[in-house]
Structure 1
């Protein structure tokens, strides 16, 4: 207490499967090596990109354990898997997950803290119940879009940051002005904000956000890292590369995570394109061609940046 979150690029880990639809743990190990090789600061496992809503409780734990085993101490790990509806089940999810050594923080899903849309009082009461029940655990919050997006109030972040109960926010508000307000509210605390939105992340890091934690770090994290590392020393090229990242980010609207798995299959980590949360049949020749075009553009951008 408190776990110090490393600044930089945090991919949201995908779950590879075999063709028989079981989890491909060998591919998970190779994927973790890839994250490390690309210079990622950490990995957010058992999240929406991991298809946590489609995993059994045991599969969630198995994936978290496999990630810890693969990464070792090379980069940091935070996890979620916070999908249950009732409180006893939520507590059990949390307790089982945090028995795995090597996990830095447990990331609560914001909509699980206000399931009945009761408002800020209920949200804060539910969060504080968890904080007080587990004083030894460091927490994050993920504004997960599924089953519905519940944004966290700036005032809650201000209090949680000052009290030292949160160290990580995966921000999905997609609003650079609101992120600036949030950054001001948590300034000087251990709470670090990571923008998940490719279109607004660069503005947020220029105003103090600690990095990027989103889908596109599964495609080209090393370009995000270059932009983050050179935002002050080489602002002109960093801005142009950020423009590329903004446009490239639109591909997440196209049959993700199947298209990401196709990208990995072509470039980095062999894996099936199957996903439980998306229809791989929709990854037609046009969608595959878009991924292939992205790969060509990534190579061009890397050459311009010297990476």
Structure 2
């Protein structure tokens, strides 16, 4: 089944103050993404702190997102955390059993940095052979290292009919164009992780975008996609994209702690607890994040897109920047 085009946030995982998975917070977060206009959700990903969770927690988080999405939007989730094909196949089946629409393979988990793309294709073939008809996807995750795919390999993957989702992290307009052309007219969709090249990738035929900044404010990204689909790269779309590109430079700092803090400031009832080590945010960076909030609110006012969360919605969290 071909996945929908549009906005696919890479989901955060809320944790309680005692560092347990916050299931109530996860439900609120899932509703927030859907209410903000997300077309699909990528659970159990790098932004979810997947490497800091146990296997049981990965399955729990994924199953809960599938449950709360309730078929309103499709959900995909990572299924490879080992160099062993056998171990990966076993977990791919477990993740698939949660009800996801596709199980995502991390390219850099399948082969060592010094192994060629021929080895990667062999591992992919082994996974295909041992997972029946489980729908799959790939993510050029930067951890443990960034492993980019060639257009030739992506064309082969599209021809298998098993791959539905590709999260691209090349951050290069030309590379994205070649990949998009390689999988054109197939069920294999490309979603760009990079804000800066977002419009270029859409021009090239990408199916959508999946930037981490959508964890702070998905609304302007959904608005950008809607306006682009209607009017192309007109003046408003170009101006909005320019602002999002500049704002994107701030969102990568102190991540994912900063994203949770930003959502908390927006009124979402979650804690800022993370398992990814994070330094104390100095005052100058707190001012930058306050400026980010001001810029976001200014964009909403300027372009007229509605905000899902208002500060008064959840009044019992009062953490201040």
Fold match (TM-score > 0.5): yes
Q: Is the aligned partner of 1:96 residue 2:94?
A: yes
Partner of 1:178: 175
Partner of 2:139: 142
Q: Name the CA distance, whole Å, in 2 between partners of 1:23 and 1:127.
A: 32
Partner of 1:14: 12
Mapping for residues 1-307 of structure 1, pairs under 5 Å: 3-101=1-99, 103-115=100-112, 117-231=114-228, 232-233=230-231, 235-279=234-278, 281-307=279-305
Q: C-alpha displacement at 1:116, in angstroms?
A: 5.2
Deviations 1:143-183 (A, max 9, x none): 00001011111101011112212111000001110000111
Q: Name the CA distance, whole Å, in 2 between partners of 1:253 and 1:193.
A: 22
Long gaps (5+) in structure 2:
306-321
User: CA contact under 8 A between 1:9 and 1:213: conserved in structure 2?
Assistant: yes
Q: C-alpha displacement at 1:252, in angstroms?
A: 3.0
Q: Name the CA distance, whole Å, in 2 between partners of 1:13 and 1:87.
A: 26
CA 1:170 to 1:211, structure 2 compared with 1: closer, same or farther past 3 Å?
A: same
Moved more, 73-82 or 185-194: 73-82
Partner of 2:317: none
Deviations 1:221-250 (A, max 9, x none): 111111111114162101100001111111
Moved more, 253-262 or 227-236: 227-236
User: CA contact under 8 A between 1:52 and 1:81: conserved in structure 2?
Assistant: no
Q: C-alpha displacement at 1:270, in angstroms?
A: 2.0
Q: Superposition RMSD on alpha carbons, in Å? A: 1.3
Local SS of the residue matching 1:79: strand
Count of residue pairs brought into register by the alignment: 303
Q: Name the CA distance, whole Å, in 1 between partners of 2:22 and 2:284.
A: 27
4+ long deviations beyond 3 Å: none
Local SS of the residue matching 1:225: helix
Q: Name the CA distance, whole Å, in 2 between partners of 1:14 and 1:287.
A: 21
Q: C-alpha displacement at 1:42, in angstroms?
A: 0.7
TM-score normalised per structure 1: 0.95
Deviations 1:254-300 (A, max 9, x none): 11000000001010412221211131x42233333222211111111
Q: Name the CA distance, whole Å, in 1 between partners of 2:89 and 2:113.
A: 18
TM-score normalised per structure 2: 0.91
Q: C-alpha displacement at 1:117, in angstroms?
A: 2.5
User: CA contact under 8 A between 1:257 and 1:278: conserved in structure 2?
Assistant: no
